[in-house]
């Protein structure tokens, strides 16, 4: 697996484009996303992560979002996205 | 500045206005003139601050505002009586809220101890144990240690503003309000809650479906905040809809693809849910319906089907609360539809219904806030048809909802925000226009056109038009002094508390308008004069009672227009100026000779001397090294003057007079040794041509002029500015008798007078540099630059030039 993608602490509107670019650059290979530093996750970045999950699944590459901060987990819960991201959020919070 | 910051700046501007409304309302309540609408206005102000703060993730502010809002809600619903003690508490709560806003604005830390103490006090009132929360702020630790119920469900680090990391050090207290009646509920009671409890008890299950547009995120809003707000209302089950989500390659990073359906179980009305979406109105698709009822967007899509369904179905299914119109047979509805369709659109009551729609549960139909009426072209008509008589109640309901604060604030905005720089630029341009017009007039005159000629008459019209434009533009920048005055009640409260005096502020003439540039500089002098009035003017309550006065002193702050100037009066009903003491201090500080003979007025004016302070104990309030001399200097810098009138035992009045604008000035244009100068008209008492025998030489250079029964020093303007070495004989020129700010008179000698003129002030400091004796510059009709004299500075320069000041002694 390549270097993990370390997420910014604030994933809001301003972080969305960079996140998408960063993910696309890593397409085609197994990826580990480090969400341990995330303090804030907005809906725009959430949907990018969800889209990435589909893309990696289509490519049959493994994707894992781990470790994760409590804030990240809480946000995913708040968004009602636990079920959608369950397969990439297997381990517990970091 | 990025977009988010810009929106934030607007938010804080609005906060200022909201806090001003809040204070005005609370003061009205304090004065006993408040009614239900006043309380509503205060509630709405606090509510709007909370809403905006929520949109920016300013959690600390939201938490505090929430407690405040909850208490206002209790007051509004008359469960808590707005007794004077409570209103005083609310006033202090508003002060704390203003501090919180300021802290949020500058990314600073709010005073957590004060906030916590205030929260405890507010909660004391909410729970009806006001007695337990003393009117004086309890020790700070009480707020933090108090056994407060927590509802951490609503709290998540994510919502914290990243630039204010301190905000969660505070300890979390938003959901701390224990409502005795509703101990198990974890939502915040609102008017809507109470209404529903009164009218139709029983839990409700709401289906809230929303799908943000990209705009919602672009405007710095966030779906997470909406979801969190919904969580606060009750228990939720959130379902995420990702059906529109494209694959990563094809998605736009800043476009919105996700939607949510929240099943919300809470005993609340729909309006409470709509409140959550108040700030994203139009930026998301939103449907709210009771679980089990058809979503209204479907009803809207096919109004006839909906109407038929409504006619056929037992009504209570749709909305158990609403008074349902009598079921209409399907054919009757169709007939009405046809009838309505035949009417011209203008006769159908669409607008009224549209306005009433959000609250029109009477129809079992609630158009979504997100779906504009335009997108439902048929629905309102269809609804209006079967029950035209329902219109009035529907409108009334809407009105009630608006009054109750449940509906979004009125959409009509009576004011627009304009960048002040644009107005300043406009004023500059109009100034140029005035100058240009004067130049044109001068050239026309030089060419010898008769005043009755077409060109001269056309110019006259141009002049009038120019003057009108100038007045109009100046009026744009004119603001009422209210913005300054409304900051003062808090100051009075705080200063009174610090000095252990009781003071009541009475304001008058808040609507008086004055140029914005003057407004900005009014605040400091007024602040200082008010502090002074309370600290030095008012007696302690014990002293006042002994003197036969009410324990509470009155400080009056008034603004009025007088003679083309704005006059600010600050008066108190205190002890008045202690003249013997003032005199003694002035002697002790070598400000006057021990044997000086001074009138009462002159004695009073001693307090304006630099270095004078009557407070024997240097207090926190006034004795901070800035005395009344600073006030006088700042007032003079504005082209104003300050005076004092005092009666022992009855109080003092400070009167501040300022020009209405700093952009134009009425001046006397004079010739001095081939130069043209402008002397501000406000300083001039009269102009005269003295006779030779009225001038008396005094000393080697000086001379005085006999004006009526007194002598005033003669000052040759040309000598002051170095235009000439030897003064001209006063009887050969013209004398302007002027009065300087301290009341002393002088006679300025000029060669000739050109006339009175309104001139456009051009700052010399910003265009060149400061020149002593010169206040500013202007451009005359012939295009030449003329200097505007600073009369006081000229007199001062002259005094310094005269070594032993024999002139002044002689003048007395």
Band of residue B322 on the pLDDT scale cut at 50, 70, 90: very low
Q: Is the pLDDT of residue B738 over 50?
A: yes
- Which of these, B673, B670, B697, B689, lies nearest to B730 by C-alpha position? B689
Can you tell me the mean pLDDT for B181-200?
43
Q: What does the pLDDT read at residue B292?
A: 66
Could B222 and A41 be called an inter-chain contact, meaning their C-beta atoms sit closer than 8 Å? no
Centre a 10 Å sphere on the Cβ of residue B678 and count the other Cβ atoms it contains: 25
Q: What does the pLDDT read at residue B563?
A: 64
Can you tell me the mean pLDDT for B270-280?
83
Among the partner residues B218, B222, B240, nearest to A80 by beta-carbon distance? B240
Q: What does the pLDDT read at residue B202?
A: 55
Nearest-neighbour CA in chain A from B212: distance (Å):
10
d(Cα B716, Cα B736) in Å, to the nearest integer? Answer: 10
Q: What does the pLDDT read at residue B299?
A: 39
Could B162 and A10 be called an inter-chain contact, meaning their C-beta atoms sit closer than 8 Å? yes
Q: Report B:172-211 residues touching A (Cβ under 8 A).
A: none
Q: Is B59 on the interface with A (CB under 8 A)?
A: no
Map B322-368 to HEC letters.
Answer: CCCCCCCCHHHHHHHHHHHHHCCHHHCCHHHHHHHHHHCHHHCCCCC
Q: Is A92 on the interface with B (CB under 8 A)?
A: no
Q: Is B1 on the interface with A (CB under 8 A)?
A: no
Band of residue B69 on the pLDDT scale cut at 50, 70, 90: confident
Q: Evaluate whether B253 touches A16 at the Cβ level (below 8 Å).
A: yes
Alpha-carbon separation of residue B667 from B641, B681, B770, B772, B778 (angstroms): 17, 5, 20, 19, 11
d(Cα B628, Cα B648) in Å, to the nearest integer? Answer: 19
Helices (H), chain A: 13-25, 43-58, 70-78, 82-85
Whole-structure pTM value: 0.45
Helices (H), B234-302: 270-276, 296-301
Q: Is A20 on the interface with B (CB under 8 A)?
A: yes
Could B247 and A51 be called an inter-chain contact, meaning their C-beta atoms sit closer than 8 Å? yes
d(Cα B321, Cα B201) in Å, to the nearest integer? Answer: 10
Q: Is the pLDDT of residue B749 over 70?
A: yes
Q: Is B581 exposed, middle or buried (CB count within 10 Å of its CB: 0-12, 13-18, 19+)?
A: exposed
Can you tell me the mean pLDDT for B188-201?
45
Q: Report B:237-296 residues touching A (Cβ under 8 A).
A: 237-240, 242, 245-249, 251, 253-254, 256-258, 260
Q: Flag the least confident range among B31-35, B155-159, B676-680.
A: B155-159
Nearest-neighbour CA in chain B from A65: distance (Å):
16
Question: What is the domain partition of chain A in residue ranges?
Answer: 5-85
Q: Which residue of B has its CA nearest to A57?
A: B247
Collect all residues of chain B within an 8 Å Cβ-Cβ radius of residue A55.
247-249
Among the partner residues A20, A70, A78, nearest to B253 by beta-carbon distance? A20
- Which of these, A91, A78, A8, A85, lies nearest to A52 by C-alpha position? A85
Cα radius of gyration rounded to whole Å, chain A? 12
Strands B641-647 and B204-212: unpaired
- Which of these, B221, B196, B223, lies nearest to B211 by C-alpha position? B223
Could B156 and A78 be called an inter-chain contact, meaning their C-beta atoms sit closer than 8 Å? yes
- Taking the CA atoms of residue B751, residue B754, residue B758 and residue B763 in that order, the dihedral angle to the nearest 10 degrees is -40
Q: Write the DSSP symbol of residue B591.
A: S
Q: Is A63 on the interface with B (CB under 8 A)?
A: no
d(Cα B420, Cα B603) in Å, to the nearest integer? Answer: 43
Q: What does the pLDDT read at residue B741?
A: 61
User: How many distinct helices (H) and strands (E) make up chain A?
Assistant: 4, 5
Collect all residues of chain B within an 8 Å Cβ-Cβ radius of residue A42.
217, 222-224
- Which of these, B310, B480, B290, lies nearest to B390 by C-alpha position? B310
- Which tens digits make up the pLDDT trace of B542-558? 999 998 989 899 999 99
Collect all residues of chain A within an 8 Å Cβ-Cβ radius of residue B240.
79-81, 83-84
Could A17 and B217 be called an inter-chain contact, meaning their C-beta atoms sit closer than 8 Å? no
Q: What does the pLDDT read at residue B747?
A: 92
Strands A40-41 and A63-68: unpaired
Q: Is the pLDDT of residue B541 over 80?
A: yes
The percentage of chain B sitting over the pLDDT mark of 70, rounded to a whole number, equals 71
Q: Evaluate whether B606 touches B591 at the Cβ level (below 8 Å).
A: yes
B237 beta partners: B263
Among the partner residues B248, B254, B260, nearest to A17 by beta-carbon distance? B254
Place of tokens 């008359």: B78
Alpha-carbon separation of residue B144 from B103, B477, B709 (angstroms): 20, 46, 73
Q: What share of chain A is helix, strand, coil (3-state, %, to 5)?
A: 50, 20, 35
Could A51 and B240 be called an inter-chain contact, meaning their C-beta atoms sit closer than 8 Å? no
Q: Report A:35-54 residues touching B (Cβ under 8 A).
A: 39-44, 46-48, 50-52, 54
DSSP state letters, B1-41: --HHHHHHHHHHHHHHHHHHHHHHHHHHHHTT---HHHHHH
| B321 against B218, higher pLDDT | B218
The percentage of chain B sitting over the pLDDT mark of 90, rounded to a whole number, equals 7
Can you tell me the mean pLDDT for B209-233?
87
Q: Is A86 on the interface with B (CB under 8 A)?
A: no
Map B521-588 to HEC letters.
Answer: HHHHHHHHHHHHHHHHHCCCHHHHHHCCCCCCEEEEEEEEEECCEEEEEEEECCCCCCHHHHHHHHHH
Can you tell me the mean pLDDT for B699-722?
85
Band of residue B624 on the pLDDT scale cut at 50, 70, 90: very low
What kind and span of H or E run contains B653?
Answer: strand B651-659
Q: Flag the least confident range among B45-59, B142-156, B220-234.
A: B142-156
Q: Which CATH class is domain A5-85?
A: alpha beta
Band of residue B386 on the pLDDT scale cut at 50, 70, 90: very low
- Which tens digits make up the pLDDT trace of B410-462? 444 577 888 888 888 888 888 888 888 888 888 888 888 877 888 888 888 88
Q: What does the pLDDT read at residue A79?
A: 93
Band of residue B730 on the pLDDT scale cut at 50, 70, 90: confident
d(Cα B218, Cα A16) in Å, to the nearest integer? Answer: 12
Collect all residues of chain B within an 8 Å Cβ-Cβ radius of residue A75.
156, 158, 224
Could B156 and A79 be called an inter-chain contact, meaning their C-beta atoms sit closer than 8 Å? no
What kind and span of H or E run contains B474?
Answer: helix B454-477
ipTM of the complex: 0.93
Question: What angle (nearest 5°) sits at the alpha carbon of residue B714, between those of residues B709 and B716?
Answer: 155
Q: Which residue of B has its CA nearest to A37?
A: B158
- Which tens digits make up the pLDDT trace of B152-170? 333 333 333 344 334 344 4
Place of tokens 């139909």: B365
Can you tell me the mean pLDDT for B622-637?
67
Collect all residues of chain A within an 8 Å Cβ-Cβ radius of residue B248.
20, 23-24, 27, 48, 51-52, 54-55
- Which of these, B799, B748, B755, B752, lies nearest to B781 by C-alpha position? B755
- Taking the CA atoms of residue B262, residue B71, residue B105 and residue B219 in that order, the dihedral angle to the nearest 10 degrees is 30
- Which tens digits make up the pLDDT trace of A35-84? 999 988 999 999 999 999 989 988 888 999 989 999 999 999 999 998 88
């Amino acid at each position: 697996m390549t270097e993990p993608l370390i997420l910014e602490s604030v994933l809001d509107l301003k972080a969305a484009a960079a996140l998408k670019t960063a993910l696309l650059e890593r397409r085609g290979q197994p990826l580990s996303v480090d969400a341990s530093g995330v303090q804030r996750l907005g809906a725009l970045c959430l949907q990018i992560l969800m889209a990435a999950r589909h893309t990696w699944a289509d490519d049959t590459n493994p994707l894992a979002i781990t470790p994760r901060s409590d804030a990240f987990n809480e946000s995913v819960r708040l968004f009602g996205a636990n079920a959608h991201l369950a397969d990439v959020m297997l381990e517990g919070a970091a | 500045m990025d977009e988010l910051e810009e929106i934030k700046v607007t938010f804080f501007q609005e906060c200022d206005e909201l806090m001003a409304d809040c204070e005005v309302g609370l003061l009205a309540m304090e004065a006993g003139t408040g009614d239900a609408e006043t309380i509503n206005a205060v509630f709405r102000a606090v509510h709007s601050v909370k809403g905006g703060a929520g949109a920016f993730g300013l959690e600390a502010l939201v938490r505090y505002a929430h407690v405040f809002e909850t208490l206002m809600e209790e007051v509004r619903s008359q469960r808590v009586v707005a007794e004077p003690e409570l209103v005083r508490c609310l006033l202090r709560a508003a002060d704390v809220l203003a501090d919180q806003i300021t802290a949020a604005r500058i990314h600073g830390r709010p005073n957590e101890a004060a906030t916590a103490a205030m929260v405890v006090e507010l909660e004391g009132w909410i729970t009806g144990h006001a007695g337990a929360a003393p009117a004086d702020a309890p020790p700070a630790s009480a707020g933090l240690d108090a056994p407060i119920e927590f509802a951490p469900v609503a709290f998540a680090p994510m919502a914290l503003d990243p630039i204010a990391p301190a905000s969660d050090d505070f300890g979390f207290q938003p959901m701390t309000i224990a409502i005795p009646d509703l101990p198990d509920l974890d939502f915040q009671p609102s008017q809507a809650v109470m209404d529903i409890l009164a009218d139709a008890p029983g839990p409700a299950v709401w289906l809230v479906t929303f799908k943000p547009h990209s705009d919602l995120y672009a405007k710095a809003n966030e779906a997470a905040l909406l979801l969190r707000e919904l969580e606060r209302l009750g228990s939720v089950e959130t379902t995420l809809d990702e059906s529109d989500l494209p694959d990563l390659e094809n998605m736009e990073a800043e476009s919105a693809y996700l939607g949510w359906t929240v099943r919300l179980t809470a005993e609340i009305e729909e309006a409470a849910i709509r409140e959550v979406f108040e700030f994203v109105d139009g930026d998301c698709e939103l449907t709210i319906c009771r679980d089990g009822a058809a979503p209204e967007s479907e009803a809207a899509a096919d109004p006839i089907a909906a109407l038929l369904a409504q006619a056929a179905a037992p009504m209570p299914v749709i909305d158990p609360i609403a008074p349902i119109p009598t079921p209409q047979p399907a054919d009757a509805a169709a007939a009405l539809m046809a009838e309505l369709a035949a009417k011209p659109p203008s006769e159908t009551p669409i607008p009224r219904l549209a306005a009433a729609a959000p609250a029109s549960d009477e129809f079992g139909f609630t158009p979504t806030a997100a779906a504009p009426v335009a997108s439902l072209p048929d629905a309102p008509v269809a609804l209006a048809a079967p029950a035209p008589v329902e219109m009035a109640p529907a409108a009334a309901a809407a009105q009630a909802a608006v009054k109750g604060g449940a509906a979004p604030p009125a959409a009509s905005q009576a004011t627009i925000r304009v960048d002040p720089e644009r107005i300043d630029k406009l004023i500059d341009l109009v100034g140029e226009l005035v100058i240009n017009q004067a130049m044109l007039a001068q050239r026309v005159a030089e060419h010898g056109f008769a005043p009755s000629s077409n060109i001269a008459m056309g110019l006259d019209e141009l002049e009038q038009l120019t003057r009108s434009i100038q007045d109009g533009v100046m009026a744009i920048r004119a603001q009422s002094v209210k913005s300054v005055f409304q900051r003062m009640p808090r100051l009075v409260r705080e200063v009174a508390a610090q000095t252990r005096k009781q003071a009541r502020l009475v304001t008058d003439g808040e609507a008086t308008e004055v140029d914005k540039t003057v407004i900005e500089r009014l605040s400091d002098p007024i602040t200082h004069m008010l502090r002074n009035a309370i600290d030095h003017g008012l007696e302690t309550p014990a002293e006042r009672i002994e003197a036969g006065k009410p324990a509470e002193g009155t400080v009056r702050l008034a603004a009025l227009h007088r003679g083309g100037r704005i006059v600010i009066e600050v008066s108190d009903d205190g002890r008045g100026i202690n003249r013997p003491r003032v005199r003694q201090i002035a002697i002790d500080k070598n400000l006057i000779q021990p044997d000086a003979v001074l009138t009462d007025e002159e004695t009073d004016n001693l307090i304006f001397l630099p270095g004078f302070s009557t407070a024997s104990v240097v207090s926190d309030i006034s004795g901070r090294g800035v005395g009344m001399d600073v006030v006088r200097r700042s007032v003079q810098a504005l082209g104003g003057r300050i005076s004092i009138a005092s009666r022992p035992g009855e109080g003092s009045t400070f009167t501040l007079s300022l020009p209405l604008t700093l952009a134009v000035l009425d001046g006397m244009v004079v010739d001095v040794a081939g130069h043209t100068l402008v002397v501000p008209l406000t300083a001039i008492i009269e102009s005269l041509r003295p006779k030779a025998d009225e001038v008396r030489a005094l000393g080697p250079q000086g001379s005085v002029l006999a004006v009526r029964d007194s002598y005033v020093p003669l000052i040759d303007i040309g000598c002051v500015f170095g235009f000439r070495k030897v003064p001209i004989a006063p009887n050969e020129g013209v004398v302007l008798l002027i009065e300087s700010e301290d009341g002393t008179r002088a006679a300025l000698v000029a060669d000739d007078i050109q006339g009175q003129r309104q001139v456009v002030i051009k700052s010399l400091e910003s265009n060149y540099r400061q020149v002593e004796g010169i206040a500013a510059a202007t451009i005359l009709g012939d295009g030449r630059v003329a200097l505007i004299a600073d009369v006081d500075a000229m007199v001062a320069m002259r005094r310094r030039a005269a070594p032993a000041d024999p002139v002044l002694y002689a003048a007395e």
